[in-house]
A and B are shown apart, each in its own frame.
Chain A
Amino acid sequence: MVSVVLDNVTKKFGKVIAANELTFEVKDKEFFVLLGPSGGGKSTILNLVAGLERPDKGRIYFDDEDVTFLAPEKRNVAMVFQTYALYPHMKVFDNIATPLKVMKIPKEEIKRKVKEAAELLRIDHLLERMPYEISGGERQRVALARAIVRNPRIFLLDEPLSNIDAKLRVYARAELFKLQRRLGVTTLYVTHDQAEAMSMGDRIAVINQGKLIQIATPEELYHMPIDTFVGGFVGSPPMNFIDAVYKDKKLVIAGRYVITIPQNVMKIIEDLSLNEILLGARPEHVSINFDKTDPEDIEAEIYAIEYLGNETIVDLYNKDLGEDKIIKARIPWRFKDDVGRKVWMKFDKNNLYYFDAATQTNIFHLSAKS
């Protein structure tokens, strides 16, 4: 049983606030992902949990134990870095054995444990090699083996898959997730890749500029993003945002396109007396017709087409929506190469997101708060 609790943790580096009054709990055996753009403070959080940094304010607990000022080696956590941080002058075996050697465990036992870990990660044939003699994917597994060999209370993984080539990464994701489930160790996983976060995390914490933006399951994050930042960060290609004004129980775009909205949305907008609304539409919820089929269709011009085999990303342009605004639509089939053609785009009304333009917050979250 190991849960991790951060209680109002703040860490500053000079004027930069890397962690800003963070409070959250990672549950026992949970695969917890810290997601956010680079330089947002995710790695700092890992370093704080590992004990490599001390918070300026706040407390960190492992279960009920206050570890805020405990030295890293006394926390029994294992960390895997993006660069793997293998000791370059030691053989793979010695790399994996290092944490055990420090614990002064008998040699025979070290051998057995290293072999076990190596077999689990299928690197037992590499034990006599040097780190520079093996491939990137193999190095990553050596780093993982070194992490699991000591039976740590917590895994801290800092972008462990970023340095592997794209093809291998997809496999590595699944393998890493299975490994975590098998070992049942509470895991904090840092990534800037939303697909990685969505596919692996039990829960995801979105972090930006040292602040916790939202903690949610992947489903919640996708369907109920708390603000435009989360909405834009999760999902690829990112969500389209369109300025709209609430007028006569309808949304009006660019002064001329009218969109009717569901009753519940209307009620929230009126209750909060909101006026300017940011409409969010994911590319998969934008469809294209060559003819106007509905009075609410919006005309557009095909600006560019990216054919990806299983789907096509179509960039749409309408000057009225904004001088350099591109609306991306994801079409699940091969789309004919018709750049410049006039088309009609339609938003899937059941899957639109509504944000208050002033606070950039999802109106459902606003109404829940008030």
Chain B
Amino acid sequence: MAKLKQRQEFSDTTIAMFFLAPLIIFLFGIIIYPMASSLYSSFSVVRLSPYQINFAGLQNYINIFSDQYFFHSLSVTARFVGEVVVITIGLSLGIALFLNEVLPFRGIIRAIILLPYALSEFTTAYTWRWFLSSDWGLLNGILYRLGLIKDYIWFVNYERSVEWMAVAYSWHIVPLCAFFMLAGLQTIPETLYMQAKIDGIGPIGRFFKITLPFIKYAILITLVLSTFFAATTTDIVILMTGGGPGISSTTLTYYIYTVVFKSFNLGYGAAISWFLIAIVLVLATLYFTFLTRIGKAR
């Protein structure tokens, strides 16, 4: 025993720390340091060449409230998020209900439906950009060949750019959300529907009395996920519309991107970022309070 003890010079924790150290350093380098740095920047005026960082207190945050572009992009984000949430919940519920039926080739159908989520946001954005393009787009081509239009349509125009972006982004995340709902649907015992049929409850009643109570959690999770995904996505805006035409589809995230990488106003960009984080956190708190309240009421 004594000999064994002598040989074991390091405690389990020490050994664990040794193996974890690279990961911890890595995480610190790519997450904690940048976050801290960005938080500090948000209270500073930053110049890049020559590099200079001067503490400016709350000035960046105060500027936000007099920035009309900020309010414009905030409203675009709100509109974008709202549309994505509505489309995503509606579509994913529909798809989940469809997939829950006994279908031939169910496995293949499920795999095909999951595909859009397997694509990167980059691919999604470009695919939709090409699909909707006003001069060589696929959709215009199809409609023209079918004789439905005489002139090519400018789909992603000043009024409708946000909607098309919402459609494209929903197309990307709907599969994931549909599978959350499908998981919920599959917990429902078949006998409940049989019982309901015998009790004389019609299809609509069965949906509201059986299906909906069983998948309300899945719906809430979908609501939370699609809100946060949509509020924080940048790729789709940069690659699909570039925030345009004009600034019609400039979301908050895209506005931050332009402030930081086009105007090189790092401090102000950081401040808006943190402001966005604050909004998202408030929303998250609201959602989860709601979730727990429903949980208790069951």
Task: Name A residues whose Cβ lies closer than 8 Å to a Cβ of B.
Answer: 47, 50-52, 72-73, 77-79, 81-83, 85, 87-90, 98-99, 102-103, 130, 146
B192 nearest in chain A by CB position: A85
1/0 contact string of B43-80 vs chain A (CB within 8 Å): 00000000000000000000000000000000000000
Assess the A73–B198 pair: CB atoms within 8 A. Answer: yes
Which residue from chain B places its CB closest to the CB of A88 in the assembled complex?
B213
| CB-CB nearest in chain B for A143 | B195
Residue of B189, B199, B200, B209 contacting most chain A CB atoms (<10 Å): B199
Partner of B198, one of A52, A90, A130: A52
Contact check: which of A73, A81, A103 meets B191 at CB < 8 Å?
Answer: A81
Distance of A90 Cα from B195 Cα, bound (Å): 14
B210: interface (CB < 8 Å): yes
Query: For window 154-200 of chain B, which residues contact chain A by CB distance below 8 Å?
Result: 189, 191-192, 194-200
A46's nearest neighbour on chain B, judged by CB, is B194
A73→B200 contact, CB < 8 A = yes
Counting CB contacts under 8 A, is B298 at the interface? yes
Interface pair B191/A98, CB less than 8 Å apart = no
Do residues A81 and B199 form an inter-chain contact, with CB atoms below 8 A?
no
Minimum Cβ distance to chain B for residue A364 (Å): 41
A133 to chain B, nearest CB (A): 10
Given contacts A85-B189, A89-B213, A89-B298, contact A79 B201 (CB under 8 A): no
Asked if B198 and A77 sit within 8 Å, CB to CB, the answer is: yes
One of B191, B200, B213 near A85 (C-beta < 8 A): B191
- In the complex, which residues of chain A have a beta carbon less than 8 angstroms from the beta carbon of B210? 87
CB distance from A159 to the nearest CB of B (A): 11
Q: List 19 A-B contacts (CB under 8 A).
A: A52-B194, A52-B197, A72-B197, A73-B198, A79-B198, A81-B194, A81-B195, A82-B191, A83-B189, A85-B191, A85-B195, A87-B196, A88-B213, A89-B298, A90-B209, A98-B199, A98-B201, A99-B198, A99-B199
Q: How far is the CB of A172 from chain B (nearest CB, A)?
A: 19
A337 CB → nearest B CB, Å: 47
Q: Which residues of A are found within 8 Å of B198, using beta-carbon distances?
A: 50-52, 72-73, 77-79, 99
Please tell me if the beta carbons of A102 and B189 are within 8 angstroms of each other in the complex: no
Closest partner residue, chain A, to B199 (CB atom): A99
A79 touches B194 (CB 8 A): yes
Contact (Cβ within 8 A) B197 A73: yes
Please pick, from B197, B200, B209, B298, the residue contacting A87 in the complex, using a CB distance under 8 A: B209
Which single member of B191, B194, B200, B298 contacts A102 (CB below 8 Å)?
A: B200
Q: Is the CB of B194 within 8 A of A99?
A: no
Query: How many CB-defined contacts (below 8 Å) exist between A and B?
Result: 56
Cα separation A72 to B196 with both chains bound (whole Å)? 10
Q: Which of A81, A103, A130, A146 has the most CB of B within 10 A?
A: A81
Task: Give complex CA distance A79, B191 in Å.
Answer: 10
Interface positions, chain B 199-213, Cβ under 8 Å from A, are 199-201, 205, 209-210, 213
B200 contacts across to A, CB distance below 8 A: 72-73, 99, 102-103
How far apart are the CA atoms of A72 and B189 in the complex, in Å?
19
Q: Select from chain A the residue with minimum beta-carbon distance to B201.
A: A102
Max count, chain A CB within 10 A of own CB: residue among B189, B191, B198, B298: B198
Q: Considering the chains assembled together, what is the distance between the CA atoms of A315 and B94 in angstroms?
A: 60
A43 to chain B, nearest CB (A): 10
* Complex Cα–Cα for A79 and B214 (A): 22
Structural contact, A85 and B201, CB atoms closer than 8 A: no
> Which chain A positions have C-beta within 8 A of B194?
47, 50, 52, 79, 81, 85
Complex Cα distance A88/B215, Å? Answer: 13
List, in ascending order, chain A residues with CB within 8 A of B213's CB: 88-89
- Cα–Cα, bound, A274→B209 (Å): 62
Residues in B whose Cβ lies below 8 Å from that of A130: 298
Which A residues touch B192, using CB under 8 A? 85, 87-88
Shortest A158–chain B CB gap in Å is 9
CA distance A85 to B209 in the complex (A): 13
What's the minimum C-beta distance from A55 to chain B, rounded to whole angstroms? 17
In the assembled complex, the CB of A136 is this many whole angstroms from the nearest CB of chain B, namely 15
